Amino acid sequence: MDVEVLGRVLSTLPEDDDHPYRTGPWQGQTAEWRADNLAVEGEIPADLDGVYLRNTETALHPAIERYHPFDGDGMVHVVGFRDGKAFYRNRFVRTDGFLAEQEEGRSLWSGFIEDPNKAVRQQGWGARGRMKDASSTDVVVHAGVALTSFYQCGELYRLDPLTLDTLGKSDWHGEFPRSEGVSAHTKVDPHTGELLFFGYGTEAPYLHYGVLGGDDKLLHHTGIELPGPRLPHDMAFTENYAILNDCPLFWDPELLKQGAYLARFHRDVPLRIGVVPRRGTNADVRWFEADPTYVLHWVNAYEEGDEIVLDGFFQGDPMPKADGETGSHRIYRGLALDRLQTRLHRWRLDLVTGQAKEERISDSITEFGMINAAHGGRPYRYTYAATGEPGWFLFNGLVKHDVLTGAEERYAFGDGVFGSETVMAPRPGATGEDDGYLVTITVDMNRNLSECLVFDARDVAGGPVARVRLPERVSSGTHATWAAGAELPGWRKGDDAAASLGL
DSSP 490: T
- Alpha-carbon distance of 183 to 126, in angstroms, equals 9
- Chain-centroid distance of CA 53 in Å reads 11
Long-range contacts of range 173-178, CB-CB < 8 Å, 24 or more positions apart?
173/216, 173/217, 173/218, 175/217, 175/218, 175/221, 176/218, 177/208, 177/210, 177/221
Contact 107, 98 (CB under 8 A): no
Single-letter amino acid, residue 95: T
Segments in 91-177 forming alpha helices (H): 96-104
Long-range contacts of range 348-352, CB-CB < 8 Å, 24 or more positions apart?
348/307, 348/308, 348/309, 348/310, 349/273, 349/275, 349/286, 349/288, 349/307, 349/308, 349/310, 350/306, 350/307, 351/275, 351/286, 351/306, 351/307, 351/308, 352/306
Could you tell me the CA-to-CA distances from 29 to 12, 26, 231, 258, 476 in Å, in that order? 12, 9, 30, 38, 11
Do the annotations mark residue 185 as ligand-binding?
yes
Segments in 272-412 forming alpha helices (H): 327-331, 337-340
Range 245-268 burial, b when 16+ CB lie within 10 A, else e: bbbbbbbeeeebeeeebeeebeee
Tally of CA atoms within 13 A in the half-sphere of 185 that contains its CB: 24
Distance between start and end Cα atoms, the chain: 14
- Chain-centroid distance of CA 377 in Å reads 18
Phi, psi of 349 (to 5 degrees): -110, 115
- Alpha-carbon distance of 443 to 440, in angstroms, equals 10
Do the annotations mark residue 479 as ligand-binding?
yes
Q: Establish whether the linkage from the previous residue to 69 is cis, with ω within 30° of 0.
A: no
Do the annotations mark residue 233 as ligand-binding?
yes
Do the annotations mark residue 401 as ligand-binding?
no
Give SS3 for 199: strand
Could you tell me the CA-to-CA distances from 25 to 73, 160, 266, 336, 416 in Å, in that order? 16, 27, 33, 15, 9
Contacts of 448 (CB under 8 A, 6+ apart): 473
Contact 273, 243 (CB under 8 A): yes
- Alpha-carbon distance of 118 to 115, in angstroms, equals 6
Please state the residue numbers annotated as binding site.
185, 233, 297, 479
Please state the residue numbers annotated as binding site for Fe cation.
185, 233, 297, 479
